[in-house]
Structure 1
Amino acid sequence: MIGGFNRKWGLPLPQVPALAAGTAIVFEGFEIDEAQIQQLEYRGIGERREDGFGRVAVNWLKKEKFLVSLPKSSSSSSLPCLKKEGSHLLAEQMAQRLLEQKLEQYLQTRVGRLSLDEGISNSQLSRLQSVARQALPNGDCSLVISLLNNLPSNARNQFERTKIGNKSFRKQLDEWLENPTDWIEGITEVKIADVERNFNDDRAKEDKLAQKYTLRLIMAVAKKATKEKK
């Protein structure tokens, strides 16, 4: 039984019987020419054809038997090999985006577990964010390292006495900046067809992917600490 709803009237349509999609009907001793077949398939039959009902195909499958065979097993990888340059380029772009998505999710999870103790002013946090943001486009961690190495004594003491976990904030920043891949854990490689990517492969090193996400981690931690102070 097929029903429906008329939005113009705001009323349900009367239910009527209809043949289920995929129904096959056989007519024996009946002839139909090509022109009639084309007309039937173009126009359809029955009611509510404007809603998609009444679509028919005539003599669609003429073969009575089909041969099916299983593919030969192969010891090689089941991943398809991309032969066209455009397909390979598209797979690389997809793998890159998927890798960045995993890194983004991991970054958010990591930031949620980190917090700073009292001891550092908002002005120092703001300055740290500003330099990290400046370094982000090129993944240049040396800018933040230079900032930390040239702090006046009062500001340096704030970074030293502020704790993040069981470490001083200064020590943690040094570890992140000197070894930007060490804090990223549990992210396996990404595979799209025969294209493999991970956060520390040659492409990632060239793009300084780990450095950029390390700078974003520092910015996010500083921003979170500023909000918590407010």
Structure 2
Amino acid sequence: MNMAWFKARGPLLDLEQIQRRDRLSSPAPLDDCPLEQQRLVVLDLETSGLDTRRDVVLSIGAVVIDQGAIDLGEQFERTLRRPDQELSESVLIHGIAPSELASGCEPAEALLDFMEFVGDSPILAFHAGFDQRMLARALKTSLGYKLRHPFMDVAEIAPMLCPDNRPSRNGLDDWTRHFRLQVLQRHHASADALVTAEIALILFSRARRQGVNSMKALNLRLANWRKRQQARLM
């Protein structure tokens, strides 16, 4: 039978990439591990825009929180190769030059590197829903991989734990100023991941003082908080 018409579904990967993808760690469940012992990956993405169905990931920045501190020995940064990316308002904001996109890391390799960096750890981000959707689509498109890791949103955790002492707006810049943190560079994936991690550590300290001692407990507290917020809108 002539099978010349047949085209395999999914992204085109070489054998080594397929093997690396298949060896990626399954996410660990959120459990009762104390917050000060939990390994967490704090993620920030720079993208070509804010449309999660059409825009693409341009760069990935991440840092690790482990043993109650930011582990500066564990940092991740990749610019993805997007040679055909057109200049847009978002590109002008984060300042990734076309030459950087043209010489960046092949997307499948960058995403494999990142998921190996993550391991089985939960992921934190600021406005995590956006990063989660963008990362999930990138992984599916470039690797045929389904993202299952739990994401926690620092933009939700902050107002929940600081209901009576919070900025009037809920952006990353607002909480950065609120906690008087210094930021050397904004709209840069690694720098934004670092300041998000600093905010998270402040919030974890407050969580422990409020009797929330694990990611499992924090997730349960968030679920109840969301229900109360929704009830107020009804």
Considering fraction of residues, name the structure with more strand.
Answer: 2
Q: Specify which structure has the higher proportion of helix.
A: 1
The structure with the larger Rg is 1
**TM-score of the aligned structures, taking structure 1 as reference length:** 0.20
Normalising by structure 2, report the TM-score: 0.20
